[in-house]
Every structure is written in C-alpha cells, then in structure tokens.
Amino acid sequence: MGAQAFCLKAKPTSLIDIAAITSIFRPGPLGEGVDKRYVKARQNPEEIKYIHPIVEEVTKETYGFLIFQEQIAQLAHRLGKNISLDEGNLLRKLLTKKGTGEVNKKKLKIHKKFVAGCEEKGIVREAAEGLWQIFEYFSGYGFNKSHAVGYSILSYQCAWLLNYYPAEWLTAFLNKEPEQRKEKAINIVKNLGYEIQEVNINVSGRNWEISPDGKLIQPLTSIKGLGDKAMDQILAHRPFKTVEEMLFNEEISYSKFNKKALDVLVRSGACDSVANGRFNHCRHFWLSIVNERPKNKKKLDENIEKNMSEPDFTEEEKIENLVTLTGIFPFDIVLDKKVKERIEHNKVPSLAHYDDALKICWFIPREVIPKTTRNGKPFWIINCIDDTCQTNQIKCWNVKASDKVHLNRPYISKLEYDPQWGFSTRSIKWNFKLVG
C-alpha cells in the first residue's frame, strides 16, 4: 500500500525510475524523508542544482540523489585523481564498515585522491568535502543498481500482464502463492473486482482456472487436508449428481477417497452441489455422511432420519471451516443485514476507505500478533480485512492485560494513520467498539 502510494506520486516512466522507487522505499531512506524529496525533485527537475557536469551525468537519472551503490563508485572514479573503478567500488564497500584500523587507512587514502581530483576539476575543497559527506551518509541506505533493475523488470512485467491479461495473470498468481499467503492473495483478487467461484467437487480442478463467464474457479488443491490420491478418485469419476453416486461407486477406491477427504470436502462446502432437500443444513449433511459414514443407501437413510433434529454448525464453526479450509472469508456470515445497516446508518467507511478527517472506520480483525518494543513494552499488530477484501495492519500501543479483541467480528474504531507507518491506536479499550 505504501509503496504503491509512493509510486503513484513519483509517476515512473522508465525501468530506472521503478528501480529508484524500489530502492528508496526502505526504512533507511524513508526515515530520512528521501521519498518526499525525490517526488519533489521529479516534479521540479529545473530546480535541481549540480555542483559539476560529471555529478549531473552520474545522478541525473535519479534526479540528483545518490540512490544506487554504483553511483558512488562512478563519482569517485570520475571525480577523483587516479582513482580506478576498482578503488571506487572498494570505497563503496569501505563506507559500510566501521573502524579506525586498516579500513580507515584505505578510506583516507581514497579520500585524499578524491578531494585532489575534485579541486583539479574546479570543485572547491568545501564542496568536495560536502560530496564526500554525502557518500558517507548515503552508504547507510544505498542499494545495488543491478538488483534494483532486476526487481523493476519483474515489477513491470507483472504490471503489464495484470493490465492486459488480468484473469490469466491472477490465476497464475493464485496458483503460485504459498499456502500461508493464500488467503491474502484471494482477498487481493476479490478486491480487484473478480468473482471467485467457490470450490466445487464437480467443477474445480487441480489449478485455479477461468470459467466461461469470467469467474476464477477455486481448485480442489486449495482445500487443506484433501490429498492427491483422493483428488485422483474425484477427478476420474465425477460428476456426482447425487450423494449416493459419491458414496457408493464400485469404481472408486474409498481407501483413497477416505473419511478424512470427505470431511474437509463437506465442511468446506465443496459438496453442496450434491446435497439436496433431504438435508436441513451443513451439519446435518456432515453428520449423516461423514461422522457416521454409511456403507449403503439404507444406512444413509437411517443417518438422515436420526440426525434430522440436530443443530447446524455455530457461526464461529462455519467461519473457521471456510477460512481454515479454503482461505475465503465469509463476509455474508460476519456482516449480517443488521450489522451492515448499523454501519451504513452511521456512515462509517471501511478501513480501506479511511478518511483522515473523520478517523473513524470499521474492519474485521483476522489475527492478533503480540510484540514487544525495544523498551520491553507490549504492543499488538492486528491483521484486518474489510468488505473490499484489502488486508491492513493496525499497531496497537499501550496494550493492557485486560485488552481483548475478538477475531472474525466487525469493529468500529478511531485510528490514526501515517503514510509511512500505517494505522495505529493508543487504546484498545477506548477506541475499539464491537458491532456484531
């Protein structure tokens, strides 16, 4: 979010611009306000002053800023007296090291040659020393240009594919994201306006695919706990028009398509297409075909009758089943009609649409991560989402032992926002209000 906002302000027009933005958006440069000064320089290039044509030639592509480590080596080589490129590269390395021994001797030797060379080229000693100080200062956050350009090429390729082939790129993105980031990836895709066709035993394959109507079909592989051998049996013998076709097929190896596989399929909702009016709800379905797996149709009918009056899964269980097994957050369960009306009546924006003047917004906590400051004081990082499917973090300072945040429940809160550090609050007790 922060990097995107910086990029929008900087308005890159080349790979080098993207590489510079990538290099600047790190704690060191951000902490020194380089991002703001860089944007200003790009907006007013005519105001940039260079102390020498060589300095302009080396730093013009980064608008007068020393962004890349290679720029130090180039300036030392071209401005200094008899400083080779190898010595210039050595200086880049020496500047990142501390000490008064051999490191300092080598640094002083190059420094002497650098100042002498600058004076020969018409740069006064004071300006030369100032440039050297910039070298020293810059060494703390300089970035390797070849790495930055490599990253920028990948960034541009991804942006190009997302712009011209969005559905194809997004399916590839979802297929390649590791399991621990899958939920966030799905939320990103939904936030871009794409509808996810939830996992279905008769439709889903092994990979994310695009349906004829443009939906992204969630694969069977996205169901945690569903093994490859079970998937083999499903894909080889589907479609299943009825529960009986799924449970009592002589060609299916039920040692592979076992109870564990059936359990996660049912609880994830993947078998909803084969459930019919005989089942009152998901738990009735689950109790009848999974909890006491029937060996024949007669036993199935008995199970259905026996479990007819059993209650459904609780709301918490439904949320946990869907999120844990599929990575898709069930907003329709958490944000019921009453909660939506309350939020809309009070005109409270979501966290993704945070208004700095209002400072009030709503969100749903998904994870609370306890942390400790350098001084040993506890604070929390809360990962949140809203109905835009964007994920954001809230830093909660001054955490008390009595503080509690309910996961998967909507909150309205007063928050502070900083473009660099994000959302934060100084009191959970006074600023977090549960609304559902």
User: Phi, psi at residue 127, to the nearest 5°?
Assistant: -70, -35
**Claim to verify: residue 117 and residue 189 sit in the same structural domain:** no
Cβ atoms of residues 265 and 224 within 8 Å: no
Reduce the DSSP state of residue 216 to 3 states and report it: strand
Q: Which DSSP symbol is given to 290?
A: I
**Claim to verify: residue 130 and residue 9 sit in the same structural domain:** yes
Q: Domain boundary residue among 146, 174, 190?
A: 146
Distance CA 106, CA 91 (A): 8
Distance CA 274, CA 245 (A): 9
Bridge partners for 425 per DSSP:
396
Amino acid identity of 277?
G
Q: Which structural domain range is residue 236 located in?
A: 165-306
Amino acid identity of 426?
R
For residue 350, give the CATH number of its domain. Answer: 2.40.50
pLDDT of res. 338: 86
Distance CA 341, CA 207 (A): 38
- Gyration radius of the chain's alpha carbons: 30
The pTM score is 0.67
pLDDT of res. 164: 95
Residue 315 belongs to some domain of the structure: no
Distance CA 125, CA 369 (A): 53
**Claim to verify: residue 112 and residue 229 sit in the same structural domain:** no
- Total domains in the chain come to 3
**Claim to verify: residue 350 and residue 258 sit in the same structural domain:** no
Residue 417, H or E segment:
strand 416-418
Distance CA 193, CA 208 (A): 16
pLDDT of res. 89: 82
The per-residue pLDDT string of the chain (436 residues; one tens digit each, 9 = 90 and over) reads 678 889 999 999 999 999 999 999 988 888 888 899 999 999 999 999 999 999 999 999 999 988 898 998 899 999 989 888 888 888 877 877 766 677 788 888 888 998 999 999 999 999 989 888 888 887 767 788 999 999 999 999 999 999 999 999 999 999 998 877 887 888 888 888 888 899 999 999 999 999 998 899 999 999 999 999 999 999 999 999 999 999 999 999 999 999 999 999 999 999 999 998 899 999 999 999 999 899 999 999 999 999 999 999 998 899 889 988 988 888 888 888 888 888 888 899 999 899 989 999 999 999 999 999 989 999 999 999 988 878 899 999 999 999 999 998 999 999 999 887 899 999 999 999 998 7
Residue 174 belongs to some domain of the structure: yes
Residue 311 belongs to some domain of the structure: no
Cβ atoms of residues 244 and 289 within 8 Å: no
**One-letter-per-residue 3-state SS of 124-160:** CHHHHHHHHHHHHHHCCCCECHHHHHHHHHHHHHHHH
- The maximal CA–CA distance of the chain, rounded, in angstroms, is 100
**Claim to verify: residue 30 and residue 134 sit in the same structural domain:** yes
Residue 351 belongs to some domain of the structure: yes
Q: How do beta strands 209-210 and 196-197 pair?
A: unpaired
**Claim to verify: residue 96 and residue 171 sit in the same structural domain:** no
Q: Which DSSP symbol is given to 269?
A: T
Residue 330 belongs to some domain of the structure: no
For residue 422, give the nearest of 356, 348, 343 by alpha carbon.
356
Cβ atoms of residues 320 and 264 within 8 Å: no
Distance CA 393, CA 212 (A): 36
Q: Domain boundary residue among 146, 177, 208?
A: 146
**Claim to verify: residue 216 and residue 110 sit in the same structural domain:** no
pLDDT of res. 1: 63
**Claim to verify: residue 175 and residue 138 sit in the same structural domain:** no
Residue 151 belongs to some domain of the structure: no
CA–CA distances in Å: residue 361 to residues 354, 387, 411, 412: 6, 12, 8, 6
Cβ atoms of residues 431 and 425 within 8 Å: yes
Instruction: Give the number of C-alpha atoms closer than 13 A to the C-alpha of residue 256, restricted to the C-beta side.
Output: 14
